[in-house]
């Protein structure tokens, strides 16, 4: 019986300590993770360059590869932004 009482008191004490300094986090204090989606970005650029799909498959593939590689090599792709 002593073990049960001690366990109950310990649980109550530790739960109170755990909740002592909790507070609400404001939305403006959070950091959000922003990831550049080079596939979507490149596809959007291809749609602008050739809206009627008049390029041959070979031409479209070469241009796509150039745009995609430029997106990947454009510096840091992953960024943290405050939001």
List the Cα angle 71/77/81 in 5-degree steps: 135
Question: Would you kindly state where each structural domain of the chain is located, as residue ranges?
Answer: 38-83
Q: Which is more confident, 69 or 16?
A: 69
pLDDT digits (tens, 9 = 90+) for 21-52: 666 656 555 565 556 688 888 899 999 999 99
Task: Please report the pLDDT score of residue 31 as a whole number.
Answer: 60
Q: pTM score, two decimals?
A: 0.48
d(CA 81, CA 28): 11
pLDDT digits (tens, 9 = 90+) for 45-72: 999 999 998 999 999 999 999 888 888 8
With a cut of 80, say whether residue 4 has pLDDT above it: no
């Amino acid at each position: 019986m002593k073990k049960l009482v001690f366990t109950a008191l310990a649980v109550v004490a530790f739960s109170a300590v755990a909740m002592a300094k909790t507070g609400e986090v404001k939305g403006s204090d959070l950091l959000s993770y922003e990831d550049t989606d080079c596939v979507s970005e490149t596809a959007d650029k291809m749609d602008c360059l050739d809206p009627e799909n008049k390029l041959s498959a070979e031409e479209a593939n070469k241009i796509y590869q150039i745009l995609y590689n430029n997106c990947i090599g454009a510096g840091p792709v992953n960024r943290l932004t405050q939001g």
